[in-house]
Amino acid sequence: MAVEFSAPPVERSGAWEHFPHDADVGLRGRGATPAEAFEAAAHALTAVVTDASVEPRDAVRVTCEAPDLELLFVEWLNAIIYEMAARNMLFGRFAVRIEGARLQGTLWGEPIDVARHAPACEPKGATYTALKVGRQADGAWSAACVVDV
């Protein structure tokens, strides 16, 4: 089923964080649903690369599938990493719809501008280390893993 988005969603703040790993970076997103937590974690992924704002100029669609929500989260992050690398882009807005084992997402972003974005490091791949998707005590969803940089 096609998923259409008429406009980029409003960017939420305070819904993601980085957590320490010896050599790499852990990232965690939170939201009212798994899809919102995945979107927030995608912001954390971009923040691994740059502190600068990323303009939502172009949209890229991705789809992924996995046998469970945790592996789907890794697939989602890896889909973004692939699009970043293959298109030489950064993404600043995200929309996710999850139906069963399938995720459909849209990434809005722009080509990397080295002077403006001053990219710090390049994510190589999302890993299964510290991988956790689940509900927290307050009922919110959290999605986390370590990304190799």
Partner 1 sequence: MDPGRFTRVDPTTWRVEPTGAMRVPAIIYADDALIAGMDDKVFEQAVNVATLPGIVGASYVMPDAHWGYGFPIGGVAAFDADRGGVVSGGGVGFDISCGVRTMLTGLTVADVLHVQESLAESLFRQIPAGLGSEGAISLDASEMDAMLAGGAQWAVERGWGAARDLERIEEGGRMAGARPDFVSDHAKERQRRETGTLGSGNHYLEVQAVVEIFDAAVAGAFGLAQDDVLVTIHCGSRGLGHQIGTEFLKEMLAAAKEAGIELPDRELACAPIHSEVGQRYLGAMRAGINCALANREVLGHYARRVFTHFFPNCDLRLLFDVSHNTCKVESHRVDGKRRDLYIHRKGATRAFGPGHESLPAALLPVGQPVLVGGSMGTGSYVLVGDATSEARAFSSACHGAGRAMSRHAALRRWSGRQIVDDLASRGILIRSPSTRGVAEEAPGAYKDVDAVVAAAERAGLARRVARLRPLICVKG
Q: Which residues bind partner 1 (CB under 8 A)?
A: 18-26, 49, 51, 66, 71, 74-75, 78, 81-82, 85-86, 88, 112-114, 117-122, 124-129, 131, 146, 148-149
> What's the min distance (Å) between Cβ of 4 and partner 1?
25
> What's the min distance (Å) between Cβ of 76 and partner 1?
12
Nearest to 54 by CA among 109, 120, 114, 122: 109
Tell me the C-alpha to C-alpha distance, in Å, between residue 121 and each of 11, 21, 34, 148.
23, 15, 27, 10
> What's the min distance (Å) between Cβ of 83 and partner 1?
10
> What's the min distance (Å) between Cβ of 28 and partner 1?
12
Pick the closer one to partner 1 by CB: 36 or 91. 91
Pick the closer one to partner 1 by CB: 36 or 43. 43
Structure tokens, 39: 């979107």
Phi/psi at 20 (nearest 5 deg)? -75, 145
CB-based burial, 51-71: b 16+ in 10 Å, e otherwise: eeebebeeebebebeeeebbb
